[in-house]
C-alpha cells in the first residue's frame, strides 16, 4: 500500500477537497399514477474529514450532475479540488450501469463539466482507468450507503420528496460514525465524528418509536419511510462495527516491475479461452518510488492499468529488466 495522498493528510475546511461518485439505480415515482423512473445518487465525500453529502439525480445527464453539484456547493461551499472516479471499473455487462458508463465516457460531458468547474476555480482530477482502489475513500462511502440502502428501498418506488428525506437521514447516519477518541481523558466518552467538522458536535436524531417489529401493512406512509431508515441503520451499523475489527496482514516483497515485461490483463468480459495480453512500455512510480500504474501496449493500442489488474509472466533476464527500468526512470 502507498502513502495517503496529499489531499487526505492536509488540514482544510470540510469539502475543500472532495471525492465524487454515483450509485444506483433507485426507483422514484414523480407523481401519483405516473410511471416509475430510474434515479441515481451522487455522493460527495470530504477527503480530509470523511464527511458525506448525498444528492438525488433524477437521470444520468450532464445537466442533472451540474444541478447536483450546484446544490452541493450551495450547502457546503465551493471546493478547490474534485476527485471523480474514472468509471471504467464498472463491468459493461451490467445493464443497470450502461447509461452511467455512456455518461462517464462521453467526451462532451467531460468538456462541459471541466469548463463549469474551471469557471468556479475547481480543479478536476481523474483516477487511472480500472483503479477504483485509488479512490478508496469514496468507494468505501459508496459501499456504506449503496449496499444497504438498495436492499432497504429495493425496487419499490417512492416519491422524490420521500427519497430526498431518506437520503438526508442516511447522510446523517454516515456522518455520525465514530472516527477517533476526542481526548485521552478516561471520562470522555465522546468520539470524534465527521459531523463535528460540519456542525461542531455530534448529530442527534429526532426521537422515533421502534417500528422494526411491526408489520408493514400496519404502518402509515411516514412510518414506512422511518422503518426503511431504521432497517438501513441496523444493517449498516453491524457492517461498520465489523470493519473496525482490523486483522493483521502478512506482507511479501514486491514483485519487480519493469519495461518489456509481458503481462496478462485482467478483463472480466473476455470470452472463454481468450486472454488479453499486453507489454509494459512505461512505468509510473509514485512519490515513494513504488510502481503502481503502468502503460501497456496491446493489439488494440495503448492503455493504463494499475498493477493490481495485471499478472506478470516470468521474465527471461532480471539484469535486462533492471537496466531497462533504470533507463526509463532516468529519462
CATH 1.10.3720.10 describes domain 6-178+192-243:
no
Residue intervals in the chain for CATH 3.30.420.10: 6-178+192-243
Domain 262-330, CATH: 2.30.30
Helices 107-119/62-76 angle, 10° precision: 30
Task: Report phi then psi at 321, rounded to 5.
Answer: -60, -45
- Pick the residue with more confidence: 253 or 44? 44
CA–CA distance, 274 with 255 (Å, rounded to integer) = 25
Residue intervals in the chain for CATH 2.30.30: 262-330
pLDDT (tens digit, 9 = 90+) per residue, 263-321? 888 877 766 656 788 889 999 988 878 888 999 988 888 999 988 888 887 654 444 44
Cis omega (within 30 of 0) on the bond before 176? no
The β-bridge relationship of strands 191-192 and 180-181 is antiparallel
Q: Which residues lie across from 301 on neighbouring strands?
A: 298
CA–CA distance, 261 with 310 (Å, rounded to integer) = 11
Nearest to 197 by CA among 70, 3, 4, 16: 16
pLDDT (tens digit, 9 = 90+) per residue, 129-176? 666 666 666 667 777 777 778 788 877 788 889 889 989 988 888 888
CA-to-CA dists, residue 111 to 78, 96, 106, 116, 236, angstroms: 20, 25, 9, 9, 37
pLDDT (tens digit, 9 = 90+) per residue, 14-68? 898 888 888 878 888 888 888 888 888 888 988 888 889 999 988 888 788 888 8
Residue 227 has pLDDT above 80, yes or no: yes
pLDDT (tens digit, 9 = 90+) per residue, 187-202? 666 788 888 888 888 7
Nearest to 141 by CA among 49, 265, 67: 49
- Pick the residue with more confidence: 102 or 223? 223
Residue 93 has pLDDT above 50, yes or no: no
CA–CA distance, 11 with 2 (Å, rounded to integer) = 20
Nearest to 159 by CA among 42, 27, 22: 27
Q: What's the pTM?
A: 0.72
Amino acid at each position: 500500500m502507498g502513502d495517503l495522498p496529499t489531499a487526505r493528510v492536509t488540514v482544510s475546511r470540510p469539502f475543500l477537497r472532495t471525492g465524487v461518485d454515483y450509485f444506483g439505480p433507485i426507483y422514484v415515482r414523480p407523481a401519483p399514477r405516473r410511471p416509475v423512473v430510474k434515479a441515481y445518487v451522487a455522493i460527495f465525500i470530504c477527503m480530509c474529514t470523511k464527511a458525506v453529502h448525498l444528492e438525488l439525480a433524477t437521470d444520468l445527464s450532464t445537466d442533472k450532475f451540474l444541478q447536483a453539484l450546484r446544490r452541493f456547493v450551495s450547502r457546503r461551499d465551493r471546493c478547490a479540488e474534485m476527485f471523480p472516479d474514472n468509471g471504467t471499473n464498472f463491468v459493461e455487462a451490467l445493464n443497470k450501469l450502461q447509461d452511467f458508463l455512456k455518461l462517464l465516457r462521453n467526451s462532451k460531458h467531460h468538456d462541459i463539466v471541466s469548463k463549469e468547474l474551471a469557471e468556479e476555480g475547481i480543479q478536476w482530477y481523474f483516477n487511472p482507468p480500472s483503479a477504483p482502489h485509488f479512490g478508496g475513500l469514496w468507494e468505501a462511502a459508496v459501499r456504506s450507503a449503496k449496499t444497504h440502502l438498495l436492499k432497504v428501498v429495493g425496487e419499490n418506488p417512492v416519491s422524490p420528496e420521500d427519497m430526498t428525506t431518506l437520503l438526508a437521514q442516511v447522510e446523517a447516519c454516515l456522518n455520525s460514525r465514530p472516527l477517533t477518541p476526542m481526548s485521552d481523558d478516561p471520562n470522555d466518552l465522546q468520539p470524534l465524528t465527521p459531523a463535528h467538522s460540519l456542525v461542531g458536535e455530534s448529530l442527534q436524531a429526532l426521537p422515533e418509536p421502534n417500528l422494526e417489529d411491526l408489520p408493514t401493512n400496519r404502518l402509515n406512509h411516514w412510518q414506512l419511510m422511518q422503518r426503511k431508515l431504521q432497517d438501513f441503520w441496523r444493517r449498516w451499523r453491524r457492517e461498520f462495527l465489523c470493519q473496525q475489527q482490523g486483522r493483521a496482514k502478512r506482507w511479501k516483497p514486491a514483485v519487480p516491475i519493469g519495461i518489456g515485461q509481458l503481462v496478462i490483463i485482467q478483463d472480466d468480459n473476455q470470452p472463454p479461452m481468450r486472454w488479453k495480453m499486453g507489454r509494459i512500455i512505461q512505468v509510473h512510480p509514485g512519490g515513494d518510488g513504488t510502481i503502481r500504474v503502468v502503460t501497456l501496449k496491446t493489439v488494440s493500442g495503448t492503455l493504463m492499468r494499475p498493477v493490481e489488474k495485471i499478472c506478470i509472466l516470468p521474465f527471461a533476464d532480471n539484469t535486462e529488466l533492471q537496466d531497462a527500468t533504470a533507463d526509463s526512470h532516468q529519462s
